[in-house]
Amino acid sequence: MTDKIVLSTKQMKQEQSIENSYKILFQKTAYKKAPYYVLLNIENSILAAKTRHDTIRGTSYAVITCLTIAAFIPAFKSMLDAMVGSGFTSYFSMILTDGASMLGSWKELSMALIETLPVLSIMAVLALLIGSLYSMSKSIAYIRDFRALRTH
């Protein structure tokens, strides 16, 4: 039993020695370090790819901003027309002109205002407003990054 343990320890040491000798062989003789320009080329190619990516994204967001602003104007006009057509503006103007007497029938007035509110038009206008603000902020962020990359 003791002989077997001694043998396996000896065998392990021999295997370790073989492993080490080949490790020395490959690490000392076969190892090839990268020339200095390889790292430079990698950094430049990543910078170029990032610039390209930011340019495309920035341009896309700028286009979306322009389109949403352009769509906002007719959408807002349509919302105002819908408010006039449904009678919302009439009810609303009653509050401004004759507010004191309207307090007595505030429940009926509130219901009338809610019923005549052009919900879809308002949602469309809000969506375009939020969309244009979001795409504008993204576009500005990409332009800022692009400028930072250029000066870097």
Partner 1 sequence: MDKYTDEELVELTKTGDDESFGILTRRHVDHIYNFVRQYSYIKEDADDITQDTFLKAWKHIKSFKTGKKFTTWLFTIARNSALDHIKKRKAFSFSDMDSFGSESRTSSSSDGDKPSFAETLKDPELLSPEIFERKELSKELNGAMETLHPDWRAVLIMHYTDEMTFEEIAAVLTRPMNTVKSWHRRSLQKIRETLMLHHNDR
Residues that bind partner 1 (CB under 8 A): 14, 17-18, 21-27, 29-35, 37-39, 41-43, 45-46, 49-50
Provide the minimum distance between the beta carbon of 144 and partner 1 in the complex, in angstroms, as a whole number: 13
Cα torsion at 68, 73, 75, 81 (round to 10°)? Answer: 170
- Asked if 85 and 79 touch (Cβ cutoff 8 Å), the reply is no
Return the number of the residue (16 or 90) whose C-beta is nearest partner 1: 16
Return the number of the residue (68 or 139) whose C-beta is nearest partner 1: 139
In single-letter form, the type of residue at position 2 comes to T
End-to-end CA distance of the chain: 69
Provide the minimum distance between the beta carbon of 61 and partner 1 in the complex, in angstroms, as a whole number: 16
Return the number of the residue (1 or 36) whose C-beta is nearest partner 1: 36
Provide the minimum distance between the beta carbon of 12 and partner 1 in the complex, in angstroms, as a whole number: 13
Helix axes 106-116, 88-97, angle to 10 degrees: 150
